[in-house]
Structure 1
Amino acid sequence: MSKMQSVRQQYSFEEIYQQYTPLVKRMLKRLHIHSNHDDFVQAGYLGLWLAYHHHDSEKGPFSSYAFVRVRGEMLTMLKKDASYYDQHSFSSTDPEPVQVAIDTDAWISDAENLAPYLKTLSKREQRWVIEHAVHDQAPRMIAAKYNVSVETVKGWRKGALAKLRKYVK
């Protein structure tokens, strides 16, 4: 038997939960997770629970193991999300990105107050605004949906924000 007590012998899970909540929240920022926060926080707490139950004090400190398990659960969820969007997005056998027409007029009728802002933007910038502001999608999700790179989506965002800033001033 180990000379060191296991974390389960020293603390209840509630104490670990309270102590490691900042780790779970920080991991969202560290992994650049911009949507579905509640789901990813839940995945982080699952990783913490798994670390609590499977930690072996002979192999290293609990804090390092908790970090790895929390990060691992969140990364697994990111991979599953990306895989889901890859399977459920438009695809093409051509190397060219898929061009998807967006019916912004139908969406604008529900939010008429955004119409003047959207009309100043290009179609691609409108895509970013609608996907991000309305559907709360992260750049990687938008990129998967439109079969473009994340950097391309960030370019749409940059252009849209620059134009919107000018419009607001």
Structure 2
Amino acid sequence: MTIQRNNQKLSPEQPFDEVLELVQPMITSILLKCQIYKDFEYYRHIASIAVWEAWHKADPSKGLFSAYIYTTVKGEILKELSKEKSFENMNTPMDNETINYIRDHEMSERNPVLIECIMSHLKFEERKILLLFYVEGYSYSEIAKELCLSEAAVKKRRTRIMIKLRKLLSSIDE
């Protein structure tokens, strides 16, 4: 598998920028074979990093450089997909459970200072996501547009916010 463009052969002696440019069609092919149809730029970025790693570690005596790049890129993409699936399986969001607990239970027993205390532990973007999702009733896609993020990024961040809130609540209850 030798990649050529304008009679230019791919080799580890070429500058990285040139190598990265030459392998763009390969990266697109790998992304499509891995059935990546959303967050395309995110995975293209991961692929670019994998190309850099392959370029940096390449040993021409061990085989074709293009084959090494292909296996490195595909391996990193599959690893990231696996991590994402594992994260989703282990950290399912709990919808309104935590928010309702804070609002109904804690507010009636204590006071609004608790909410301020909890919210002060969140970053501005985290507070904004909570506000848009729970108060304004925005969908994931609407929040993504508002914050200039992908829908997947909003979902992951909301999941992480819920985990953070659980930890904060458990530390307060102790």
TM-score normalised by L of structure 2: 0.48
TM-score normalised by L of structure 1: 0.49
Name the larger-Rg structure: 2
Q: Which structure has the higher relative contact order (CA within 8 Å, separation 6+)?
A: 1
